[in-house]
Amino acid sequence: MGTLTVSQKMTLAQDFLPINGTDYIELYVGNAKQAAHYYKTAFGFQSCAYAGPETGVRDRASYVLKQGKIRLVLTTPLNSDNSISQHILKHGDGVKILALWVDDAYKAFEETTNRGGKVYMEPQTLTDEHGEVKISGIYTYGETVHLFVERKNYNGVFLPGYKVWNSKYNPTDTGLLYVDHCVGNVGWNRMNPTIKWYEDVMGFVNILSFDDKQINTEYSALMSKVMSNGNGYVKFPINEPAEGKKKSQIEEYLDFYEGEGVQHIAIATNDIVSTVKQLMARGVEFLDAPPNAYYEELPNRVGKIDEDIAPLQELGILVDCDEEGYLLQLFTKPVEDRPTLFFEIIQRKGAQSFGAGNFKALFESIEREQAKRGNL
């Protein structure tokens, strides 16, 4: 397999679970009203749909935000006797649901649970005046869930039970287009079983692997394997901590999330310089720029690129390449007080990889932040 490109490896995935893309990502948060304001103001998401007491939902309020093809759902419980409250008490704000858009949610459930998937939601059909949505779900790592969403017979705003959310406050978007990949952090010795789970239960294929020899700094290390479905529309890298002189960022995550979960959501843009400038101006905090030497070495490491280096350096944007092209990327700081979930902004120019050449520069930057928190 080592001689195949990433694109060639994807064709080896099995097709018992056809996936059209990410349907939505749902976060459980302590105060969805305020979180929605943050994602609108800082990231440029647009008001889309709402469910809560005003729409007949008694136990929660959910805000659906949209930008490009991305749907972000922010849900908060309305009382303490609630599984969402328990989730937030343990994990803080974080990703609960990675929902996948499928053509047949009943078949997706049957195929995956027959292969060992643990049931989260039995298949069900939700209806309203706009049609029907079929939905089912299984657990993946930690308490995180994959829902299968079939919406070919639905033309409502989001799901049955949701109403259009008309807001008078509508900041402009920032050029975010679609979910490129979502990364999970798992515990010690849990990466390979998780990889096998994605192979066996979901029919995914391992397209890239990094070990602690490749991804390490003076202090800490991690191992990572990237799982993809056959068409490459859904990619889930899985990280595991590795032994280092000090505590790795993955361990810090596991300590503060109190378990396995989603580490970062990578969102694609067609113009990373413009997108990052806007995000910074609107208060999104990014990791510090790598040292000047990183940009001096850039032409040697990645070859010729279309962009001028000066604006990349000014914004701290990282560049990496593989045999199929190059990519530009930048990582936010965690978006909660617990050092858990963060975002990545990525622009691909041919490359199908994930920026392994940047991991060292990235890690050193993360470790500076970890040290400030007293967790290194």
Sites of contact with Fe ion (CB under 5 A): 266, 344
Tokens of 18: 């056809």
Report, in Å, the least distance between residue 334 CB and Fe ion. Answer: 14
Report, in Å, the least distance between residue 198 CB and Fe ion. Answer: 16
Report, in Å, the least distance between residue 195 CB and Fe ion. Answer: 17
Which is closer to Fe ion, CB of 133 or CB of 226?
226
Report, in Å, the least distance between residue 336 CB and Fe ion. Answer: 18
Runs of H (alpha helix) within the chain: 6-10, 32-41, 83-91, 105-114, 191-202, 249-257, 272-281, 292-302, 309-315, 359-372
Which is closer to Fe ion, CB of 105 or CB of 362?
362
Measure the CA–CA gap between 115 and 111, rounded to whole angstroms: 6
Torsion angle of C-alpha atoms 217, 184, 316, 352, degrees rounded to 10:
100
Report, in Å, the least distance between residue 355 CB and Fe ion. Answer: 7
Find all residues with CB under 8 Å of 347, minimum gap 6, and list them.
268, 269, 270, 271, 272, 327, 328, 329
Report, in Å, the least distance between residue 82 CB and Fe ion. Answer: 32
Which is closer to Fe ion, CB of 23 or CB of 344?
344
Torsion angle of C-alpha atoms 85, 142, 12, 19, degrees rounded to 10:
-10
Measure the CA–CA gap between 261 and 266, rounded to whole angstroms: 15
Which is closer to Fe ion, CB of 106 or CB of 233?
233
Report, in Å, the least distance between residue 163 CB and Fe ion. Answer: 34
The full 3-state SS of 226-275, as one line of letters, equals EEECCCCCCEEEEEEEECCCCCCHHHHHHHHHCCCEEEEEEEECCCHHHH
Q: Tell me how far CA of residue 102 lies from CA of 63, 229, 247, in angstroms.
A: 23, 12, 39
Which is closer to Fe ion, CB of 140 or CB of 353?
353
Give me the residue whose beta carbon is nearest to Fe ion.
266
Which is closer to Fe ion, CB of 344 or CB of 369?
344
Instruction: Answer for the pair 61, 51: CB distance below 8 angstroms, yes or no.
Output: yes
Measure the CA–CA gap between 226 and 252, rounded to whole angstroms: 21
Which is closer to Fe ion, CB of 64 or CB of 191?
191
